[in-house]
Structure 1
Amino acid sequence: MELNNWGQRTHKKIEYEYQRSGPQHNETWTVIVRVDELEYGRGVARNRRGAEEAAAQEALRVVQQQL
């Protein structure tokens, strides 16, 4: 992922928090991305991977705006 590569280059600590809700046959995933313990992105999707990608993209947009 591009966000993880950026984190390695800049020596930032990137953490992902995973939350699952709803019944198992129709669950919803929420992923929160934190950079140095501050929330930078949040993604929601029907699967873990989709929520992770959405959260990482949002976090990357925030990071790029700060440059």
Structure 2
Amino acid sequence: MSSPHFAMRLNNFLQGRYGASFAAHFKYEDTSSGPQNLTVWTGTYFINDMKYGDGSATTRRVAKEAAAQKTIEMLEAEGNDVPP
């Protein structure tokens, strides 16, 4: 089973919406917590300084994908068409 690549879908959507200046409209932040052997990563996407999706997982990559998935879900709930 292949990965859904939510972060790539989100990136492509934002590039389509904002063009060459898309990087100025969003940011991604991640933090870690817990002991080294039980680290939990939390990633958060912001669009135009507004917090959208966040996600947590035991790896940075999976936390970023979870945050991107939630961000896409929020964008779609607002009526945006985020291509697959």
- TM-score w.r.t. length of structure 2: 0.75
> In structure 2, how many angstroms separate the alpha carbons of the residues matched to 1:42 and 1:31?
5
- CA deviations 1:8-37 (Å, max 9, x no partner) are 111152211111001111100000110111
Match of 1:32? 44
Where does the alignment leave 5 or more consecutive residues of structure 1 unmatched? Answer: none
Match of 1:64? 76
Which amino acid is the alignment partner of residue 28 of structure 2? Y
Which amino acid is the alignment partner of residue 54 of structure 2? R
Where does the alignment leave 5 or more consecutive residues of structure 2 unmatched? Answer: 1-7, 80-84
1:48 aligns with 2:54: no
Max radius of gyration: which structure?
A: 2
> What secondary structure is seen at the aligned counterpart in 1 of 2:43?
strand
- The RMSD of aligned alpha carbons is 0.9
Match of 2:82? none
- TM-score w.r.t. length of structure 1: 0.93
